[in-house]
Amino acid sequence: MHGGERGTRSLRTVSASGAARSAIGSPSSGSGSKAVLLAQDEPPALTVERPEGASIFVLACDHAGRQVPRALGTLGLSDTELASHIAWDIGTAGVGRRLSERLDAPLLLQNYSRLVIDCNRPLDAPDSIATASEWAQISGNDNLSPAAIEARVGEVFQPYHDGLRQILDARQQERRRTILIAIHSFTPSFRGTARPWEVGVMYHRDARLATALLRLLRRDERLAVGDNEPYAVDDASDFTIPVHGEARRIPHVGIEIRQDLIADEAGQKTWAGRLANLLRQAAEALAAAESA
């Protein structure tokens, strides 16, 4: 999902220079930096599968995991809350892995809960480190010191985005055609209101791939397809697509899948198969349109 709650917020510009700026001074970016958040036996923020994959697609799951660093305890939440959709995008890691396998595409998985720090939020967003989400108060995120914030940025947010940036930079240098796919999932019912969609396609300034994918998804009349629903991409509430897709001017799309459809392996397999086919077709349609 993209957020717990979307209000009207003024648009702010997220640019490549903003991303570059946020990389400077990161504790992870220099040698001799000392981790203060993640212990040595804890997983890294980023897992990359098939970094050298031959596909034109690069897959990113910003909210794949729900780990919380031991140093942060439970963030003040129950086990049930930490297993729920407020903590992560249920099912996306499974869909991402299968899709990566089918497409031979690089896959980036962010392993820590979005409640540690949201890797799809600009660092200056009020809910970058959320103190509330839907029904829950996240007391472990109250009144954080600048050092505590810096640790989450430097050990979770930055390594994830540095990894994505490196893969995209390398492909750009090799002049490889690249399409960025951000995979998310959303809760079927939000604050008591059922959502009508099974899948949503998200985009903002560049609708090239989104338009093609929407058309293809809508051929299946059984599917309720959201056009920038249940979430839309914007600069205030998104990071991955504005920074790694739009600023780089590569085709991209965000895909939101309803969580109950991909909660188990069978559903993940179905959706990975569907998306593998449709993404290939959408990319072909795009290439044909560009060469016409």
Which residues contact Zn ion by CB under 5 A? 1, 63, 89, 184
In terms of CB distance, is 89 or 246 closer to Zn ion? 89
CB of 92 to Zn ion, least distance (A): 7
CB of 205 to Zn ion, least distance (A): 20
What type of residue sits at position 97?
Answer: R
The answer to whether 210 touches 276, Cβ cutoff 8 Å, is no
In terms of CB distance, is 27 or 187 closer to Zn ion? 187
Which pair of structure tokens corresponds to residue 237?
A: 């509430």
CB of 43 to Zn ion, least distance (A): 19
CB of 231 to Zn ion, least distance (A): 8
Q: How far apart are CA 208 and CA 113, in angstroms?
A: 31
What stretch of H or E contains 279? helix 265-291
In terms of CB distance, is 158 or 237 closer to Zn ion? 237
In terms of CB distance, is 56 or 183 closer to Zn ion? 183
Which residue's CB comes closest to Zn ion?
Answer: 184
User: What's the DSSP call for residue 268?
Assistant: H
Helices 92-103 and 265-291: crossing angle in degrees, nearest 10, is: 50
What type of residue sits at position 216?
Answer: L
CB atoms within 10 A of CB 11: 10
CB of 272 to Zn ion, least distance (A): 17
What pairing do the DSSP bridges indicate for beta strands 193-194 and 179-186?
Answer: unpaired
In terms of CB distance, is 63 or 244 closer to Zn ion? 63
User: What's the DSSP call for residue 70?
Assistant: G
